[in-house]
Amino acid sequence: MPSMASNNSTHTVKVNQLNGPKADSHARRQKIEQHRKALPIAAVEKKLLEEVSKNDILIIVGETGSGKTTQLPQYLFNGGFCRNGGVIGITQPRRVAAVTVAKRVAEECGATLGQKVGYSIRFEDTTSSSTRIKYMTDGLLLREALLDPYLSKYSVIIVDEAHERTVQTDVLLGLLKTVQKTRSSSASDHAQSENGALLKKQEDVRSTNILKHSRGKKLPPLKLIIMSASLDARIFSEYFGGARAVHVQGRQYPVDILYTRQPETDYVDAALITIFQIHLEEGPGDVLVFLTGQEEIESIERLVQDRLPKLPESKRKLSIIPIFASLPSEKQMKVFLPAPDGFRKIILATNIAETSVTIPGIKYVVDPGMVKVRTYDPSSGIEPLIIVKTSKAQALQRSGRAGREGPGKCYRLYPENEFYKLKDSTMPEIKRCNLSNVILQLKALGVDDIIGFDFIEEPDRMAIIKSMELLFLLGALTDDGKLSDPVGHQMSRLPLDPIYSKALVVANQFSCLEEMLIVVSMLSVESIFYAPREKLEESRTALKSFSSTEGDHLTLLNTYRASDEFLEKSKLVSSNEKAEKNLRKWCKENFINSRSLKHARDIHSQIRRNVEQMGLCITSCGEDMLPLRRCLAASFFLNAALKQPDGTYRALSSGLTVQIHPSSVLFRGKPECIIFDELVRTNQNYIRNISVIDYLWLIELAPQCYALQE
DNA sequence: GAGCACTGC
């Protein structure tokens, strides 16, 4: 291994001679350089460059703290991999990671963000024509592929965190495998061919390779680097034809793993006992407890508070901090604040603390070994959340949270032999989710044979068939399984659930695109309304001013319009910033989740641009909401339900007995025929976001599914 | 009369 001894130590002399802010920045640059050189990956810079030069595909297994995400792109840039204007693209599964890493790397390069180094995520693109190191989400790169099927601007693509195996990462790997083959083996005359022809042409490429080779300009080959933190690189290596894998050391403090002697019957109770045990017997340091959901977190919080007065006074200095995704962000921020003097922080977290949020100061981790996951039942289309045991990889990830700043301890609330019985890794998302969106995107990329597509791991056959069927019934696919024109093509361009895309594509014919843009934006975000138990009455009164007797979709429309009107008025008299702040206050008064509303506004402006680019005319139905409800029927027809004599409903496509969720404005109304947005299974089958329709509309607008019954 | 892990375009 080449030694990477410091080669510019002579600069140190100069630094001491400088004064003022310049000296500060110089000192800072030096500090950055020192930090970079001390990273484990720095020792293998030269070796890595050689490996990338020699191999078109390289798997890098980098442990936590190796520095791979920030350093490798810089090594490649300095190693000449951006010659001829090529861009190094690095994908991340999460937005925050793309943003924070890009900022850090820009600083390390001494560049302004958006110049040499930038990031691009949905709603936010900081890159420019001079950007050479581009961090982005993997979903965004997939979208880019729809416009540029050969990803021609990239000379290197690094897929980071591939071990997480998100749907987007898996699809991206399949796409990149083909893109790379095409770019290294064939002429680029397809580059000028129409979008979406990429994989369809793949067959021709193989058979008429030489012929194609002689025409057109050749695209430069694509270097592909897959980075994973899991110790097992085999699956990636095998997928890429026995690709070379290299290992980069990490830098983590040791974490003591402790197990229970016996299996615990009640992990919540066991967690509670462990919290107190750590607090009373262990030295200073904060505690991170992994729980499965909000309910568990709130119940443990109450239990700890209840027991606290029973402790000796000197031992009562515990600060309990809950964190989960739906918590308002200002409350989430509390995990980053230091506890009051002498207090120990006990952080009660969901999976959010496993990868998304890194909390400083954690010395102890309590891991009951359970996690809540979404599953998918292809036959009913329901995606229930269930509590299951974690995988070994997950348990390791959790315990690692205790060793970031110093040696730590992890308490696994199960016996050691149970650990060995756990699955090695979590089942990839693609094997347990609805595939309709994935299939629509692959079709748009020209993959006609979905079952024959080279997935790193094959999805369930039944799930593929069910999703194809849905797309066919929506009119996105033709009889022979090809993307339909224009409906399928238009739908694939929209970053939405296929049913929502369908609603937009047909809204034009109902002259209600303006309204439908708002409705699908509001449906696309987490719940807009919140009703805290202690203020149930107040929140209900607030909702009343927006509610419509015709259903929740119109209620969402009214809400959006009311908020928009408020914001516009506010902007007339205040600065934009002040107006946004006023809007947040307005949200609070009206029991609306302002984060969700902001998200809906962002989606709205994006999809409005999308439909304009498609050349659709944005029409409005004005005061008459009938066309809007008919349009909902024309797109949500698979989610239709009829009232039964006992007051429950029968979902027409699945035959399931369902109930209107109590949060719906139609909960008491009980109309004869309705369409709904989603079916959730808890104690019962509940349907949410519902609108009143006429059964005859279904026969008229969805004859492929409904006929007049004799 | 009910509660929902986490991401992403």
Structure-block tokens of residue A679: 């079916």
Angle in degrees, 0-180, between the axes of helices A552-573 and A594-613, rounded to the nearest 10 = 90
Nucleotide nearest to A326 (CA to C1'): B4
Q: Which nucleotides of B are covered by protein (CB under 7 A)?
A: 1-9
Instruction: Evaluate if the CB of A667 falls below 7 Å from strand B.
Output: yes
Q: Are A62 and A68 in contact (CB under 8 A)?
A: yes
Report pLDDT for A199.
52
Please identify residues in chain A, positions 155-194, with a C-beta within 7 angstroms of any atom of strand B. 166, 168
Q: Are A556 and A543 in contact (CB under 8 A)?
A: no
Render A686-704 in DSSP notation, one character per residue. EEEEEEE--HHHHHHH-TT
Instruction: Evaluate if the CB of A294 falls below 7 Å from strand B.
Output: yes
Instruction: Evaluate if the CB of A688 falls below 7 Å from strand B.
Output: yes
**Whole-number Å distance between alpha carbons of A589 and A459:** 45
The residue length of chain A stands at 710
Please identify residues in chain A, positions 185-244, with a C-beta within 7 angstroms of any atom of strand B. none
Please give the protein residue whose CA is closest to the C1' of the nucleotide B5: A372
Instruction: Evaluate if the CB of A385 falls below 7 Å from strand B.
Output: yes
Please give the protein residue whose CA is closest to the C1' of the nucleotide B9: A495
Residue entry with tokens 């229930």: A384
**Whole-number Å distance between alpha carbons of A691 and A693:** 6
| Residue A24: partners with Cβ closer than 8 Å, 6 or more residues away | none
Instruction: Evaluate if the CB of A568 falls below 7 Å from strand B.
Output: no
pLDDT score of A473 more than 60: yes
Protein CA A290 to sugar C1' B2 (Å): 25
Q: A457 phi and psi, to 5 degrees?
A: -140, 130
Please give the protein residue whose CA is closest to the C1' of the nucleotide B7: A94
**Whole-number Å distance between alpha carbons of A611 and A627:** 19
**Whole-number Å distance between alpha carbons of A673 and A698:** 10
Please give the protein residue whose CA is closest to the C1' of the nucleotide B1: A662
pLDDT in tens, A203-253: 443 333 322 333 445 688 899 999 998 777 899 999 999 999 999 988 889
Protein CA A280 to sugar C1' B8 (Å): 42
Instruction: Evaluate if the CB of A374 falls below 7 Å from strand B.
Output: yes
Instruction: Evaluate if the CB of A662 falls below 7 Å from strand B.
Output: yes
Instruction: Evaluate if the CB of A490 falls below 7 Å from strand B.
Output: no
pLDDT score of A502 more than 60: yes
**Whole-number Å distance between alpha carbons of A51 and A223:** 11
Protein CA A682 to sugar C1' B3 (Å): 9
Runs of H (alpha helix) within A214-354: 234-239, 267-281, 294-307, 329-332
Structure-block tokens of residue A268: 């919540």
Structure-block tokens of residue A701: 């607008």
Protein CA A306 to sugar C1' B2 (Å): 26
Nucleotide nearest to A325 (CA to C1'): B6
Q: A49 phi and psi, to 5 degrees?
A: -60, -40
Please identify residues in chain A, positions 273-292, with a C-beta within 7 angstroms of any atom of strand B. 292
Please give the protein residue whose CA is closest to the C1' of the nucleotide B8: A139
Instruction: Evaluate if the CB of A352 falls below 7 Å from strand B.
Output: yes
pLDDT in tens, A570-617: 999 999 999 999 999 999 899 999 999 999 999 999 999 999 999 999
Instruction: Evaluate if the CB of A495 falls below 7 Å from strand B.
Output: yes
| Residue A156: partners with Cβ closer than 8 Å, 6 or more residues away | A52, A76, A81, A86, A88, A89, A222, A223, A224, A225
CA atoms within 13 A on the CB side of A496: 31
Structure-block tokens of residue A682: 């808890």
Nucleotide nearest to A526 (CA to C1'): B4
Q: Which of A451, A509, A452, A449 lies closest to A475 in space, CA to CA? A: A509
Instruction: Evaluate if the CB of A94 falls below 7 Å from strand B.
Output: yes
Q: Which of A135, A165, A310 lies closest to A232 in space, CA to CA? A: A165
Q: Would you give the DSSP letter of residue A683? A: S
Please identify residues in chain A, positions 422-461, with a C-beta within 7 angstroms of any atom of strand B. 437
What rounded mean pLDDT belongs to chain A?
Answer: 88
Protein CA A187 to sugar C1' B7 (Å): 37
pLDDT score of A633 more than 90: yes
Q: Which of A36-45, A183-192, A377-386, A624-633 has the highest mean pLDDT?
A: A624-633
Instruction: Evaluate if the CB of A388 falls below 7 Å from strand B.
Output: no
How many distinct helices (H) and strands (E) make up chain A? 26, 21
pLDDT in tens, A256-285: 999 999 999 899 999 999 999 999 999 999
Structure-block tokens of residue A653: 């496509």
Instruction: Evaluate if the CB of A121 falls below 7 Å from strand B.
Output: yes
pLDDT score of A4 more than 80: no
Instruction: Evaluate if the CB of A533 falls below 7 Å from strand B.
Output: yes
pLDDT in tens, A358-403: 888 999 999 999 999 988 888 888 888 889 999 999 999 999 999 9
Instruction: Evaluate if the CB of A37 falls below 7 Å from strand B.
Output: no
Instruction: Evaluate if the CB of A326 falls below 7 Å from strand B.
Output: yes
Instruction: Evaluate if the CB of A143 falls below 7 Å from strand B.
Output: yes
pLDDT in tens, A107-165: 999 999 999 999 999 999 999 999 999 999 999 999 999 999 999 999 999 999 999 99
Partners of residue A477 on adjacent β-strands: A483
Protein CA A615 to sugar C1' B6 (Å): 36
**Whole-number Å distance between alpha carbons of A675 and A693:** 7
